[in-house]
Structure 1
Amino acid sequence: MTKPHSRPRNVYIGLVVVTVISLAVACGAAHGLLTARVAATTATVLAFAKARFVVLDFMELRHAARVRSYFDAWLAVVCLGCAVLLLR
């Protein structure tokens, strides 16, 4: 069984790791390893994933099923729209 404070700490560490990955993707685009569109889209999708974790774990939406489903739908639509706009 996990301690009650271990989940926020683990989510925070995960957010830091994803931020470092986003930075690596951006640096990869700067050094010519990725195209700018692919790097921007990847960074955007990672940012939306981070936003979901922040809302679920630090804004206590994890236990509010109806609001969480609305938020997930909204986030998916906005993320997909941004990805389409970046890749076209």
Structure 2
Amino acid sequence: MLATVMKQLKSHPALIPLFIFIGGGATMSMLYLGRLALKNPDCSWDRKNNPEPWNKLGPNDQYKLFSVNMDYSKLKKDRPDF
């Protein structure tokens, strides 16, 4: 199959950018999915030792990928302890 793809790319060089961008997009989407699975507090991998991981987050923990005008170090705790 890889030999067939290489043969097609040699005969149609205009397909090379298509393969590059599709491969890059697939790679970035898999990396983002992995980040969501590992860093997001909504996802619990260990139910026995840590059943509610969102309760262990402090008020200044940043778990979003990108925030525009938010300084997480200056936030104060405004919720009760459980």
| TM-score interval, smaller chain | 0.3 to 0.5
Richer in helix (by share): 1
- The structure whose Rg is larger is 2
Q: Whose RCO is larger (CA < 8 A, sep 6+)?
A: 1
TM-score (ref. length: structure 1): 0.37
